[in-house]
């Protein structure tokens, strides 16, 4: 499993776009939405948590069609399925790679981009901590959409139908946690709900994805 994680991380860094494209998407969303709203600094500060979380959601879902496709094309997936490594561990490795390649980097960048939205650094750090907790769930949801979409001719449509509705609760809880902290209200309950969703997603979705992979490989 560690070998798979290292291989995919090296491939992402070697391609370049696997690292920079999510960051570029994140930066584009954070910059363009305030421009569209207008020069209302107070409003920017109020909606900054939602903007940052929307940026995280869309940035994490950029490469869903490349989650399993390359391994299927070069025969790696067949060799992994024939080996002693359970497919669930293979899927977990994909989730970890997606989180490290996108979620972790976006977490680091979020507080600084929050300053562009007039979001205090301390509040930006709370937003960053909520992204750390919630982004593993987004990575698992992304792998679920990528796994189902890769092996279906209507893959892009299926990815949208599956990924976006499942990501809405994470978007809501993540935004609510930051808003609660800004208003001096308890924010830990929202963070705990995020952590529960992440743990459940990481524990459950790999089994659905591995079942899909097995079904496709047996055809």
Average the pLDDT over each of 68-72, 111-115, 124-128, 177-181 and give the range with the smallest value: 68-72
Specify which of 20-24, 40-44, 160-164, 201-205 reaches the highest per-range mean pLDDT.
201-205
Q: Is the pLDDT of residue 99 over 80?
A: yes
Specify which of 30-44, 58-72, 130-144 reaches the highest per-range mean pLDDT.
130-144
For 160, counting Cβ atoms within 10 Å of its Cβ (0-12 exposed, 13-18 middle, 19+ buried), the class is middle
Average pLDDT of the residues in 23-29: 87
More confident: 91 or 212: 91
Average the pLDDT over each of 17-26, 96-105, 197-206 and give the range with the smallest value: 17-26
Sequence-ordered list of residues with C-beta below 8 angstroms from that of 105, at least 6 positions apart, any chain: 19, 22, 23
Q: Is the pLDDT of residue 164 over 70?
A: yes
Q: What percent of the chain has pLDDT over 90?
A: 30
pLDDT at position 157, please? Answer: 66
For residue range 144-158, what is the model confidence (pLDDT) as tens digits? Answer: 888 776 666 555 666
Q: What percent of the chain has pLDDT over 70?
A: 89
For 45, counting Cβ atoms within 10 Å of its Cβ (0-12 exposed, 13-18 middle, 19+ buried), the class is middle
Average pLDDT of the residues in 8-18: 65
Cα dihedral sign, 155-161-166-167? positive
More confident: 3 or 34: 34
- Say how far apart CA 203 and CA 153 lie, in whole Å: 28
pLDDT at position 214, please? Answer: 79
The token pair at 5 is: 């994680």
Indicate the pLDDT class of residue 18, thresholds 50, 70 and 90: low
Tell me which residue has tokens 């978007």. 171
pLDDT at position 152, please? Answer: 61
Average pLDDT, the chain: 84
- Say how far apart CA 90 and CA 7 lie, in whole Å: 12
58 neighbors 64 (Cβ within 8 angstroms):
no
- Say how far apart CA 171 and CA 157 lie, in whole Å: 21
144 neighbors 150 (Cβ within 8 angstroms):
no
pLDDT at position 66, please? Answer: 72
């Amino acid at each position: 499993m560690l070998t798979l994680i290292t291989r995919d991380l090296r491939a992402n860094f070697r391609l370049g776009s696997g690292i920079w494209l999510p960051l570029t998407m994140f930066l584009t969303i954070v910059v363009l939405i305030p421009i569209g709203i207008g020069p209302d600094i107070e409003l920017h500060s109020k909606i900054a948590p939602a903007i940052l979380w929307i940026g995280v959601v869309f940035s994490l879902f950029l490469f869903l069609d490349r989650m399993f496709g390359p391994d299927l094309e070069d025969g790696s997936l067949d060799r992994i399925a024939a080996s002693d490594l359970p497919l669930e561990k293979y899927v977990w490795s994909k989730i970890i790679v997606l989180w490290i390649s996108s979620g972790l980097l976006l977490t680091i960048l979020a507080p600084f981009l929050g300053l562009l939205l007039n979001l205090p650094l301390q509040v930006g750090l709370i937003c960053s901590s909520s992204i750390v907790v919630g982004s593993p769930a987004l990575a698992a949801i992304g792998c679920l959409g990528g796994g189902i979409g890769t092996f279906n001719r209507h893959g892009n449509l299926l990815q949208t139908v599956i990924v976006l509705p499942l990501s809405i609760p994470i978007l809501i809880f993540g935004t609510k946690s930051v808003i609660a902290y800004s208003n001096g209200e308890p924010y830990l309950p929202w963070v705990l709900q995020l952590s529960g969703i992440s743990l459940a997603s990481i524990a459950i979705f790999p089994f659905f994805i591995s079942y899909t992979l097995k079904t496709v490989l047996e055809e």
